[in-house]
Chains A and B, each alone.
Chain A
Amino acid sequence: MNEGEEKFGQIYFAVLGAVALAFGAAELIASAGEGFTWGILDSSGGADPMFLPWRAIILISVGFFYLSSVKNFAEIHQLAKAVMGSIMIWIVAGMAIWSRIAGSIPGEETWFNSLEGFLASYAPPYCPEMFLLPFSLVIVYYILKEKGETEK
């Protein structure tokens, strides 16, 4: 990758890492109680209270992965840290989305949910990882870039 891409990556993932760390810390504090909901942001454990501190630890780790990848970002092992951080967000956010899909299909009174109920299952609030998901996809550009350079 060129210098500009490296610089952009450093700044971008530094900010993303800080945000992830902040979210993770907030979730960890919230897990001491019953979680919190603020607008479209939801940090509660749902049916299983074990999930909230677990997610919080993962998000804090993601923050550290991103932040530690910033120095010498173009180096393969540093880039790998950023990739792992993104993969961890994909796992958690992916499971949050899967949870919505699983909950949206069966109906409450009927076998299958109505269209209204189905769509309403995807309504906010969302967990912090789902907010970070689109931002974590930027790493795909760097993965493809790295793949192209390796193939050369």
Chain B
Amino acid sequence: MRNEKDKMESGKLALKAVVIVALVLMALSTAVISVDAHMPGAKAPPAFELSPIVILDGGAEVEITIEDVGNYHNERMAEFKRNTLKKQNKTDEEIDKIIEKEFAGATGICPCSSCAFRAALLGISELWGDEIPERADIKFISRRPTPGATQCLQFITGTGPGVPDVTSKGELQMILPDGTEVADLSVKSLKKYMVDMDLSNWNFVIIRKSTGDEFEVQVKEDVIPEGFFELRKKVKVEKTATPEEIDEFRVQWEAVRDAFLTQPDWELFEGVEEPEEEEPDVVGGAIFFSILVIGLGLLLVLSIRGKAR
């Protein structure tokens, strides 16, 4: 009994301590966290759940997440920026500061890299099913001459510069919708082809080399907001956009990226069927439930009769 009383007393004391400390604490400062991303001023991606791409490289299983792809894309773009700034005769210190500022909080997850990642994920699951593909057996044909998409596919195939721990390599080919084959996949070279892009550039072909099977992934028209391509040209290429147009593009850019991170395949890509929802077996359940209710009822009746006797 004394024991129980002591327990309750110590509990009440703890509660008092909580209340007093909580009342005494003052709200001090507000912390302002700035979010910078691939697109200057763009918000961080929403919460999403994307499974990693799993491949075999030299017998070892390799898991590639979209975060890995994003980091690789960031590294390559930082390297490109560094080389550009060096040519402008900036000092190393100045370069480090600029790069740190520009890439602070950047995830490297942009519409292009996320689209390419989703396309690869879908293509691999269609061509290999539950099997894990060998890296060397994977080939991508990309119609999208942007660093984000290209570096994503380079990372998966192991063909990009600085991709770590690569034992075997897949293949990546860039063939534009008009048939032009782009051999040089460096950022500098790709910038020439990024000028005029449309929906036909949101297209990838995934090939299983050993069997020759192919799967084409084409993004649906309604994933890309209206006016996206024109705005993009103004903002990124011609640099003639007004502040309002820049804001509008930023919003559209975020929407496209978020779509590729969160929406299901059948909403993003042409030719993917919405999976059929399994009809719940209501009749079977109702039959069992009725038997259960009758059985419990009988049990109750029998036990009442037994007690009455």
Contact = CB atoms under 8 A, between A and B. Distances in A.
Determine whether A and B are in direct contact in the complex, meaning some CB atoms lie less than 8 angstroms apart.
yes
Interface of A: 97, 116-124, 126
B14 to A, nearest CB: 33
Nearest to B279: A120
Given A123-B282, A123-B288, 5 more contacts: A119-B280, A119-B285, A119-B289, A124-B281, A124-B284
B288 A117 contact: no
A122 B280 contact: no
A120 B292 CA distance: 14
A9 B55 CA distance: 60
Interface in B270-299: 280-282, 284-286, 288-289, 292
Contact of A97 (B284, B286, B292): B292
Q: 4 nearest interchain CB pairs?
A: A120-B280, A123-B281, A122-B285, A123-B285
A122 B289 CA distance: 6
A121 B289 CA distance: 9
Interface in B199-215: none
B288 to A, nearest CB: 4
Nearest to A133: B295
A117 B285 CA distance: 9
A22 B292 CA distance: 26
Contacts, number: 31
A116 B280 contact: yes
A117 B107 CA distance: 41
Contact of B284 (A116, A117, A118, A123): A123
A119 B282 contact: yes
27 contacts: A116-B282, A117-B280, A118-B285, A119-B280, A119-B282, A119-B285, A119-B289, A120-B280, A120-B281, A120-B285, A121-B285, A122-B284, A122-B285, A122-B286, A122-B288, A122-B289, A122-B292, A123-B280, A123-B281, A123-B282, A123-B284, A123-B285, A123-B288, A124-B281, A124-B284, A124-B288, A126-B288
A93 B294 CA distance: 16
Nearest to A117: B280
Interface string B151-195: 000000000000000000000000000000000000000000000
Contacts of B288: 122-124, 126
A145 to B, nearest CB: 14
Contacts of B285: 118-123
A53 to B, nearest CB: 26
A119 B288 CA distance: 9
A116 B283 CA distance: 9
Contacts of A126: 288
Nearest to A140: B302
B226 to A, nearest CB: 32
Contacts of B281: 120, 123-124
Nearest to A130: B288
Contacts of B280: 116-117, 119-120, 123
A40 B181 CA distance: 56
Nearest to B287: A122
A119 B279 CA distance: 12
Contacts of A120: 280-282, 285
A37 to B, nearest CB: 14
Contacts of A116: 280, 282
Nearest to B281: A123
Nearest to B284: A123
Nearest to B278: A120
B160 to A, nearest CB: 38
A124 B283 CA distance: 10
